[in-house]
Structure 1
Amino acid sequence: MNKVIQGKIFVVDDNIDTDQIIPAEYLTLVPSKPDEYEKLGSYALVGLPDRYGKFIAPGQMKTTYPIIVAGENFGCGSSREHAPIALGASGVEAVVAQSYARIFFRNCAATGELYPWESVERLCDEFQTGQEVTIDFDRNQIVNHSLNKVYALKPLGEVGPVIDAGGIFAYARQTGMISR
């Protein structure tokens, strides 16, 4: 079965750090509590400069953008797991970036919150917020329907099944690495 993610994109550029993804003042929220998980998501990307516009509309708890397109070094800064959790809680399913801070990439797998795709080309300069795209997992590509163009993505590799399972501990249980 061909897995796909479709929807509108939110575009940012380089060096989006974890303080921009989820400012430190919201780290007191406990993601394992359902109401606090949802609230955490409602604060995703509130630390971004105003030039990007609103990721979550005022009065809403979720974003209308299931995919973020970014430049280099997405998720740099502190090692907080809250960053991918906040994005996942907001409704993001995938980030397509030119490159990631390694700890953010690892935290995506550990938490199972979202798929960290790496682009072959620099897409953040060509794509615009609000455009409709499809990420095709089997073909390792992103289709920008607004531009009518297809772009290659680097394969997810071994991180894909871990995220599919819901994170590193769920994957370890599923594969028998640790007891249920």
Structure 2
Amino acid sequence: MERIIRGKVWKFGDNISTDHIAPGRYFHLRTNLPELAKHVLEDADPEFPKKVKPGDIIVAGNNFGLGSSREHAPRIIKIAGVSCVIAKSFARIFYRNAFNIGLPLLTADTDKIDEGDELEIDLEKGIIKDLTKGIELQSTPIPPFMMRLLEDGGIVEHIKKHGDFKVD
């Protein structure tokens, strides 16, 4: 996993739920995540699943990922190629599930970022550069132990690689 991410922004508002991310009408696809990923966020933006490209970045408002605790939501975001999600705040279970599957999340004031902007993100330092606008935003950096989870591809891969999970 890269520590510096660069990509195009897809902007969403507040309270994007796991049902927006993984629409319930596709529940039958939960055992076929690549197929389910073809519908990611289509209830929030019908064009998103057709136009998202590998490396793109989701930027949102408050409470991103609220709702059920299903791990499918962050997993299909990752499968769709999204490199990072930046929001003002995240639902707690979504936040944990995202890191567990290796999807980086950053918390920052996202008001100055617009759809289509090109961002460069330093995950370790928490620096978000909006290359389109020439501005820099500060996020809380990802803690080292969570960076290790991301670098290993999530908690399952981390445990396969290192044995039981230990925080130094």
TM-score by length of 1: 0.82
CA deviation map 1:137-180 (0-9, x unaligned): 233111001110111011111322112211212112222218xx
Letter in 1 for 2:106: W
Partner of 1:27: helix, strand, or coil? helix
Q: Which residue of 2 aligns with 1:149?
A: 135
Answering whether residue 56 of structure 2 is matched by residue 70 of structure 1, we say no
Aligned residues with identical type, % of pairs: 34
Deviation at 1:53, TM superposition (A): 6.2
CA deviation map 1:106-131 (0-9, x unaligned): 1112222x101111xx21x2211111
> How many residues get paired?
162
Partner of 1:56: helix, strand, or coil? helix
Q: Which residue of 2 aligns with 1:117?
A: 106
Structure showing the higher helix proportion among its residues: 2
Alignment counterpart, residue 86 of structure 1, candidates 76, 85, 92: 76
CA deviation map 1:36-93 (0-9, x unaligned): 3321211110111xxx562133xx6xx1262111111110011111100110111111
Letter in 2 for 1:110: N
Letter in 2 for 1:174: K
Q: Which residue of 1 aligns with 2:38?
A: 42
Letter in 2 for 1:16: I
TM-score by length of 2: 0.88
Q: What value does the CA root-mean-square deviation take over the aligned residues? A: 1.8
Unaligned runs of 5+ in 1: none
